[in-house]
Structure 1
Amino acid sequence: MQWSANRPFVPLALSDGWDRVRLRRHALRYAAHGWAVTPGACLSGHRFACGRPGCPIMTCHPALESWEDSATTDPGRVAGWWRRRPYSVLLATGWKFDALEVPAALGLRVLGTARLHSGLLGAGRAAARGPVAVTAAGRWMFLVRPGEPLRSELDHRLDVVRHGRGSWIPAAPSRMLEGPVRWAVPPELTEWRLPDPGPVQQLLVDALGAVRVPRLTVPRQMSTARRAA
């Protein structure tokens, strides 16, 4: 067996098995709290493979063609998906929650503000605290109650995306090309409660005037294109 200075060599099949079990465990936990889950393509080298013949999509995308109809909270179906393959864990948005995806500069500012004591910020700002996921590429996703469109100050920005019906987000511990998805604020920390979108959007608008954010961090079409995948 080969060893490195940082970690032991692990046979690929065994490593995939550990990943699959861990991903399945998290998928089942999300489903148990009412968050609809769908399997995402598996990261294989420098691309994502979904198993569909001729699929040209190399980035993270749903493994099922009719993923939105198949997304479920049923534990039997969820466990079955991860029985043989280490699929990425994707969460369907627009049902239990929406996700407001923003660049890291905005995300860090908003998270720091939302963590301040409610006595300093007022009840409205304290109510903005909720689960926050972060990708290794520097995209922050604030989970909020569904249904409210983006405010005009945010809607015109190409680097701010609201994921609602027909969209999805990757969830921890899924791995993207740049690294794993993680929770900056785990849902357990907020007891799986979701904030109203209004206070969160207000914090984002306030942050726009306080930080310098590149205008084209991630073109919006890259995020919306995956919704039809």
Structure 2
Amino acid sequence: MQWSVHRPFGPPAPLDRLRLRRAALRYAAHGWAVTPGARLIGQRFDCGRPGCPIMAGHPALESWEDTASTEIAQVQAWWRHDPHSVLLVTGRRFDAIEVPASLGLRVLGAVRLNRRADARGPVAVTAAGRWMFLVGPGRPLRSELDHRLDVVRHGRGSWIPAAPSRTPEGPVRWAVSPEQAQWLLPEPAIVQELMTDALGAVREPQLTVPRQMSTARRGG
């Protein structure tokens, strides 16, 4: 028998639901559309839909693209009783470029070292080592990034998990919080340029890397 190296999570405490709801309300208040995600129970996610086979993170609502909202009353209702994960819908106010930690660390280091205020924006990090740079919406990936197996652009039809949502590996956190970035989003071309410049020091994967459920579809 192989023992899991991850500490199992028990039933979420009421404090978890309040923390998740508070975060969802904060995002919505700044115009970032949110949708409730499946709850983490043990090592799998449960959306409450009978017979749902998805064990990884995914939206709790089947019609999440149509019902994602910034309305405070709606967000309060979604998190009134259940500790849903907080999912940010991409392709509206922002896109997200998801990269491995090796690339994300180099890009963020370049932003800070070179004091690139024009490239500074919110950056979310999962415990599995995926970095998500939030940028203005609508721009496709450069060819140097698009062909890589470990780089994904989240646009229309996609979402990303947001802090303080939890995954089996641990919580999602902000490497650069929206408050630190003053809720501003950099131009995607600038961030993609920094990513392309950093590629020379990052080995390209030979196999497809595991990704969250939202990456099953690239943003259009």
Could you say whether these structures have the same fold, taking a TM-score greater than 0.5 normalized by the shorter chain as the test? yes
Query: Cα RMSD (Å) of the superposition?
Result: 1.8
Which residue in the other structure is 1:210 paired with? 201
Q: How much identity, in percent, do the aligned residues show?
A: 75
Question: Equivalences for 1:43-192 in 2 at 5 Å?
Answer: 43-118=40-115, 125-192=116-183
Q: Give, in whole Å, the separation in 2 of the partners of 1:148 and 1:187.
A: 21
Helix, strand or coil at the partner of 1:209: helix
Q: Give, in whole Å, the separation in 2 of the partners of 1:222 and 1:40.
A: 11
Q: Give the AA of the match of 1:155.
A: D
Q: 1:96 deviation in Å? A: 0.4
Q: Give, in whole Å, the separation in 1 of the partners of 2:131 and 2:194.
A: 14
Q: 1:217 deviation in Å? A: 6.0
Q: 1:190 deviation in Å? A: 1.1
1:114–1:126 CA contact under 8 A, matched in 2: yes
Q: 1:91 to 1:150 in 2, by over 3 A?
A: same
Helix, strand or coil at the partner of 1:142: strand
Q: 1:116 deviation in Å? A: 2.2
Question: Equivalences for 1:11-50 in 2 at 5 Å?
Answer: 15-50=12-47
1:158–1:220 CA contact under 8 A, matched in 2: no
Q: Give, in whole Å, the separation in 2 of the partners of 1:66 and 1:212.
A: 38
- Residue by residue over 1:56-94, the C-alpha shift from the partner in whole angstroms, topping out at 9 and shown as x without a partner, is 000000000000101000000001000110000000000
Q: Give, in whole Å, the separation in 2 of the partners of 1:152 and 1:220.
A: 20
2:58–2:214 CA contact under 8 A, matched in 1: no
Q: Give, in whole Å, the separation in 1 of the partners of 2:109 and 2:205.
A: 20
Q: 1:145 to 1:113 in 2, by over 3 A?
A: same
1:43–1:176 CA contact under 8 A, matched in 2: yes
Q: 1:103 deviation in Å? A: 0.2
Q: Give the AA of the match of 2:193.
A: Q
2:57–2:212 CA contact under 8 A, matched in 1: no
Q: Give the AA of the match of 2:44.
A: R
Q: 1:218 deviation in Å? A: 1.9
Q: 1:175 deviation in Å? A: 0.1
Q: Give the AA of the match of 2:128.
A: A
Helix, strand or coil at the partner of 2:70: coil
Quick check: which one's helix share is greater? 1
1:116–1:126 CA contact under 8 A, matched in 2: no
Helix, strand or coil at the partner of 1:78: helix
Q: 1:211 deviation in Å? A: 2.9
Larger radius of gyration: 1
Which residue in the other structure is 1:224 paired with? 215
Q: Give the AA of the match of 1:64.
A: L
Q: Give the AA of the match of 1:67.
A: W
- Please give the TM-score of this superposition, normalised by the length of structure 1: 0.87
Q: Give, in whole Å, the separation in 2 of the partners of 1:193 and 1:183.
A: 15
Q: Give, in whole Å, the separation in 2 of the partners of 1:157 and 1:221.
A: 16
Q: How many equivalent pairs are there?
A: 209
Q: 1:214 deviation in Å? A: 3.1
Q: Give the AA of the match of 2:109.
A: G
Ranges of 4+ aligned residues in structure 1 off by more than 4 Å = 219-223
Q: 1:220 to 1:50 in 2, by over 3 A?
A: closer
- Please give the TM-score of this superposition, normalised by the length of structure 2: 0.90
